[in-house]
Structure 1
């Protein structure tokens, strides 16, 4: 069994290869039960444990264990920790143990950018990212690798955190701007991507200009939300990575569904439909589009298989 560090994941999964692997996986499909989400904290600790298995019979089996402790920022620690194990689908033998945090951040960013290849304008140039964590870093790198981004705006309530991320990213875009003014940044975006732990909307539909693509990543529980109802209204609905996951797990979908402000028909298509060509995605240059990802074990499996392919060749 080989162990893959976070640096191994970064070096072994370049963005075009990872996007291609995810697209193939969504076209082919896999067995990926809805992740099990357990609260493992107490009155003083907001702790969560996620279990995410997936398999393609006779090919590969994988499972990710994830802990999410949102209050860790007060301790100077990451909110998310995880590990991924990949097995041979024919023998059950362990192939590799992979740093789950970097695998998750990288496949999450790749899934968003894969969706954006169908939903964002091809001439999108200004990318706005809300949030400054590991996923935000990967989102910036992935979008700049696939789209011709010439301005990257990093938004955070802490300007120091935004600047630290800008320094870490280096020259991935000709112009990197940091700001605490979310509204101004969102109103000038071609693509706005959010990777936060917000519980109240930080993107308001009234701020979006025609042609904007909204990429919602952060909300993974019904009490978490990054976009208001006006975003969905102006977009005419929302695209999702998986129907089952988004409609049960994310407040960006569950809350407007419960309030009657979003219908089931408003879930326009999932990522598999986009990858298979059964939905056209963006249909005009002026349309506002919205995509919500909650993550699926299929993405982890595809990324893990792609990462270990060279060692198994």
Structure 2
């Protein structure tokens, strides 16, 4: 039996080209050939942290070719240990033999594929001339989201807000050599009305994006708030926006969509499209400059397997690339 390859976070960090990864994920959504059962979502007590943790199991298959399952835990209080809230492993399989081909560290894989999916959505939903971004949140996703969005829109100005101003400053320092100006800010309100794209990746239970500050033509990318009692955007934001999602299967797992559906602020039939429909051109994204668009991402196992295929191929071909 062939040895099991170990693909670590360092390899993923050093070998991600967002334009490539976005295209890989786009192709997989458009072709819709992967078999993806509903993911397992289990909240379990974490009394030491006085907060529940979450276990997610996300399998997917490309019959007789590749398969995989991601095992993820989300522990919101991990910041006190100075580690990401998301931890996990991706088991990459040969779908014909059932053998394990690779063990892939899931933190970076998840961050890269999530950012790529948001940027993919932005390519349909944000204005083509969008040039400014507000990043809300300073976790592991923030740098990836900024870079991914910058790969599909020519960003000139980026602003970063987090509950810790020093963390916002640190992110700006890490990205100071990019092709855009990047600035930490102390309040969301000082820039939220000015930017073209707002990307939010937090575990907030109270809305951070308030509709009263939004203007026509903006695009809002909601990536965090993965549980039913979490929200990043308020009712006014949802009510006044055209809503898009990564998949319809995930709309009942998060508060940003579930709560407005329950209260009648949003109707299921008024969700405009998901990524399957956008990438296959069954439905359109933005059609008017003045539209206010919202994309809600909860993650999908298709994205994980597509990303695993991408990084596996990069890994096994790395010697060929070095010698060419």
What does residue 296 of structure 2 align with? 292
What does residue 84 of structure 2 align with? 78
1:158 maps onto 2:164 in alignment: yes
Match of 2:31 among 7, 19, 28: 28
What does residue 235 of structure 2 align with? 229
For 1:138-287, list aligned pairs within 5 A. 138-235=144-241, 237-246=242-251, 248-287=252-291
What does residue 45 of structure 2 align with? 41
Match of 2:19 among 16, 20, 45: 16
Q: What is the TM-score when the length of structure 2 is the normalising length?
A: 0.93
Q: What is the TM-score when the length of structure 1 is the normalising length?
A: 0.96
Contact map agreement 2:222 2:295 (CA 8 A) in 1:
yes
Against the structure 1 CA distance between its residues 155 and 173, is the aligned structure 2 distance closer, same or farther, given a 3 Å change threshold?
farther
Gapped regions of structure 1 (runs ≥ 5): none
Against the structure 1 CA distance between its residues 286 and 38, is the aligned structure 2 distance closer, same or farther, given a 3 Å change threshold?
same
Give the Cα–Cα distance (whole angstroms) in 1 for the partners of residues 84 and 262 of structure 2. 32
TM-superposed deviation, 1:81: 0.5
What does residue 130 of structure 2 align with? 124
- The Cα offsets for residues 262-309 of structure 1, whole Å up to 9 and x where unpaired, read as 101121100110000011100111111100000001000000001112
Give the Cα–Cα distance (whole angstroms) in 2 for the partners of residues 145 and 42 of structure 1. 38
- The number of residues matched between the two structures is 311
Give the Cα–Cα distance (whole angstroms) in 1 for the partners of residues 179 and 285 of structure 2. 26
- The Cα offsets for residues 230-281 of structure 1, whole Å up to 9 and x where unpaired, read as 112211x4100000112x1010000000111110112110011000001110
What does residue 302 of structure 1 align with? 306
Against the structure 1 CA distance between its residues 312 and 173, is the aligned structure 2 distance closer, same or farther, given a 3 Å change threshold?
closer
Structure 2 SS opposite 1:249: coil
What does residue 89 of structure 1 align with? 95
**Farther off after superposition, 189-198 or 237-246:** 237-246
Contact map agreement 1:152 1:173 (CA 8 A) in 2:
no
Against the structure 1 CA distance between its residues 169 and 260, is the aligned structure 2 distance closer, same or farther, given a 3 Å change threshold?
same
Gapped regions of structure 2 (runs ≥ 5): 318-324
Structure 1 SS opposite 2:191: helix
Contact map agreement 2:228 2:255 (CA 8 A) in 1:
yes
Give the Cα–Cα distance (whole angstroms) in 2 for the partners of residues 284 and 274 of structure 1. 16
TM-superposed deviation, 1:140: 0.8
